[in-house]
Amino acid sequence: MKLKKLGAMAITAAMLAVTAGCGAVTTEEPSDANDSSAAEESGGDAGSLTIGFSNCSQDTPFFANMTPIIEDYAESLGVEVVALNADNDIAKQNQDIQDLVSQGIDILIVNPVNEDGLTAGINACNNADIPVVTVDKNVNSGNVAFVGRDNKEMGRLCGERLVELLGGEDATGTILEIQGTAGSTTMMDRRDGFHEAVDSIPGLTVVQSSYCDYDRSKAIPATQDLLQANSDIVAIFGHNDDMALGAAQVCGEQGLDDVLVCGVDGLMEAVLQIQEGTYAITTSNDPVLLGQTAVDVAVQIHNGEDVEEFIDAGTVVIDAENVDEYADPELDFATMVK
| pLDDT mean over 91-96 | 98
| pLDDT mean over 287-310 | 96
- The C-alpha R_g of the chain, in whole angstroms, comes to 20
Answer whether residue 2 is part of any domain: no
Paired strand residues for 282 = 263, 318
| pLDDT mean over 93-99 | 98
Q: Say whether both 60 and 126 belong to one domain.
A: yes
Residue 220, pLDDT above cutoff 60 = yes
Determine which helix (DSSP H) or strand (DSSP E) holds 77, and give its type and residue range: none
- Contact present, 154 and 135 (Cβ < 8 Å): no
Least trusted range by pLDDT, from 16-25, 110-119, 266-275 = 16-25
Cα distance between residue 206 and residue 221, in whole Å: 18
Identify the pLDDT of residue 318: 98
Identify the pLDDT of residue 338: 54
| pLDDT mean over 287-316 | 95
Answer whether residue 16 is part of any domain: yes
Q: Which CATH number characterizes residue 121's domain?
A: 3.40.50.2300
Residue pLDDT, tens place only, 6-60:
333 333 333 333 333 333 333 333 333 333 334 444 444 566 899 999 999 998 8
| pLDDT mean over 172-197 | 95
Close Cβ partners of 334 (under 8 Å, ≥ 6 residues apart): 266, 267, 268, 271, 282, 284, 286, 316, 318, 326, 327, 328
Answer whether residue 331 is part of any domain: no
What phi and psi values does residue 130 have, to the nearest 5 degrees?
Answer: -105, 115
| pLDDT mean over 218-232 | 97
Answer whether residue 175 is part of any domain: yes
Q: What is the pTM of this model?
A: 0.76
Range of the domain at 231: 151-284
Q: Say whether both 104 and 42 belong to one domain.
A: yes
Identify the pLDDT of residue 5: 35
Cα distance between residue 249 and residue 225, in whole Å: 14
